[in-house]
Chains A and B, each alone.
Chain A
């Protein structure tokens, strides 16, 4: 059962041996900064003025005004960002033929999958941890609700895990990285847009669509509320996508 470890280490080496990890981290931090900076500056501006006119300063809350939208926006950015982390994982191995060797080592398919999934998750978690610098910056100036912020981050980690497993599945179905990348992006976008369609649907259908929409479930996390329903949703999407990936690997052995 320790077979995931060599695969994990190899994937990490490949992420950091090529520009992928650095490029993706830079991209994510940059976009996050893009969302963070304006609201931070605006908040600073407003709080400065309210300090001069004390009668206005009642509803000012750094967590709510800066960090909650940041969490939500980052979840949306993941739509673009996660496909870049996962597109290579199986597609490239299949194209270059290294899959043939990987699958003939004494590793279970589940171990290969776990190694790859955990490597992508670890890289993502690392990059996510870097964005903690934004709440820390805010905390430097004013008091924030760390509990709510960290709940938001837990949500980001879960939504990221779900996205990563979907990305892995798409990557396992093709030999072409670009197809894997765009396929994942398209799939995630569809799941996200479902939330918009929910508004125009009625009755039971509306509830179903709302439940299926992948980012809707982020809302309570972003608010700092831990809802079991959302937790279960993300964990089951992750498990289901990983299960499909495993099936797709097995079918590869059958068809050759």
Chain B
């Protein structure tokens, strides 16, 4: 549904997006992640036909965003960063304008506008001036205008920013419900949101794609080892060396007792094994067989945060990136 091929965008000397390629399948919800200034908004502006790329191409719903921009714009709903709106218009009048601009027929307009106001929880604010709304409400009006016209593809730049916790949950549920029928690409800095809502993830850093796939795939790519954390009461040294002898175990690291808050006379370890090789059963038998006490055992789940930080930090130190940065600076 969205095909981005070697997209590049420069603002004068600044290259904001560099050779970015990815695909989003129909009905998927994809999270677009990256640190500040990574080029997320820039990419989304190009996908929404607001500006032309400097190089490469992008197709949305089968149409080229530059040469068939009108066809693309008929099929997208776009929420720009900071949801810019007309402060001097009342909410309902504004949404009526958007519906008309998107070609919603006169007869259907009123009910369509009422419907999106309902879905974005702004019905009770419909007669207020947008400029007098709180930030969260303005964000919701921005989302409502994106949903108008029932577009096939939604491009949402930080859709939940500024919302209160209950609204975040409701808007997430709304976005999740769009999946299947609609194709959604959304950027956010709230990583748990991505785990909850998105089918796929694209991480970009300094204008380049550094990782893409499902969350499980990313975890596998970035952390090839599975980890188990154990707390065992007994002689630390002996435990560590015997854990190392377990088949499948690739490394055993003791974690500082104080830091980990282990009980007196107990030690904590992180045991690594290749992903897919579960060593927990053997580990329990080993500890019990030696007469030590197993106090705690759990898999260390790898969160998206860890993946993100590893990927983005790893990038920063990668020599070839440094090289290109130096090249660009010259």
Residues of A within 8 A of B (CB): 3, 5-7, 9-10, 13-14, 17-18, 96-98, 100-108, 252-256
A14, B86: Cβ atoms closer than 8 Å: yes
A6, B86: Cβ atoms closer than 8 Å: no
- In the complex, which residue of chain A has the Cβ closest to the Cβ of B82? A97
User: Of A3, A96, A252, A253, which is within 8 A of B87 by CB?
Assistant: A96
Asked if B57 lies at the interface with its beta carbon under 8 angstroms from chain A, I say no
Q: How far is the CA of A1 from the CA of B48 in the complex (A)?
A: 21
User: Of B42, B82, B97, which is within 8 A of A6 by CB?
Assistant: B97
Given contacts A10-B97, A98-B85, A105-B102, contact A256 B9 (CB under 8 A): yes
Query: Using an 8 Å CB-CB cutoff, how does the interface string of B58-74 with A read, 1 for contact, 0 for none?
Result: 00000000000010011
A107, B51: Cβ atoms closer than 8 Å: no
**Interface centre among B9, B97, B101, B145, by most A CB within 10 Å?**
B101
Query: Using an 8 Å CB-CB cutoff, how does the interface string of B81-109 with A read, 1 for contact, 0 for none?
Result: 01011111100010001101111000000
A246: shortest Cβ distance to chain B, in Å?
Answer: 15
Q: How far is the CA of A108 from the CA of B103 in the complex (A)?
A: 12
Residues of A within 8 A of B279 (CB): none
B49, A104: Cβ atoms closer than 8 Å: yes
B52, A253: Cβ atoms closer than 8 Å: yes
Residues of A within 8 A of B51 (CB): 252-256
Q: How far is the CA of A3 from the CA of B78 in the complex (A)?
A: 18
Given contacts A100-B80, A256-B45, contact A105 B101 (CB under 8 A): yes
Residues of B within 8 A of A (CB): 9, 11, 42, 45, 48-52, 70, 73-74, 76, 78, 80, 82, 84-89, 93, 97-98, 100-103, 145
- In the complex, which residue of chain A has the Cβ closest to the Cβ of B99? A6
Given contacts A101-B84, A104-B50, A256-B9, contact A3 B45 (CB under 8 A): no
Q: How far is the CA of A5 from the CA of B97 in the complex (A)?
A: 10
B50, A256: Cβ atoms closer than 8 Å: yes
A-B contact pairs, 28 of them (CB 8 A): A6-B97, A7-B101, A10-B89, A14-B88, A17-B89, A98-B85, A100-B48, A101-B78, A101-B80, A101-B84, A101-B85, A101-B145, A102-B101, A103-B49, A103-B50, A104-B48, A104-B73, A104-B78, A105-B73, A105-B101, A106-B73, A107-B73, A107-B101, A253-B51, A253-B52, A256-B42, A256-B50, A256-B52
Residues of A within 8 A of B49 (CB): 103-104, 253
Given contacts A97-B80, A256-B11, A256-B45, contact A105 B98 (CB under 8 A): yes
Q: How far is the CA of A102 from the CA of B97 in the complex (A)?
A: 11
Residues of B within 8 A of A96 (CB): 84, 86-87
B127: shortest Cβ distance to chain A, in Å?
Answer: 13
Residues of A within 8 A of B42 (CB): 256
A114: shortest Cβ distance to chain B, in Å?
Answer: 13
Q: How far is the CA of A104 from the CA of B78 in the complex (A)?
A: 7
Q: How far is the CA of A3 from the CA of B283 in the complex (A)?
A: 70
Residues of B within 8 A of A13 (CB): 89, 93, 97
Q: How far is the CA of A7 from the CA of B101 in the complex (A)?
A: 7
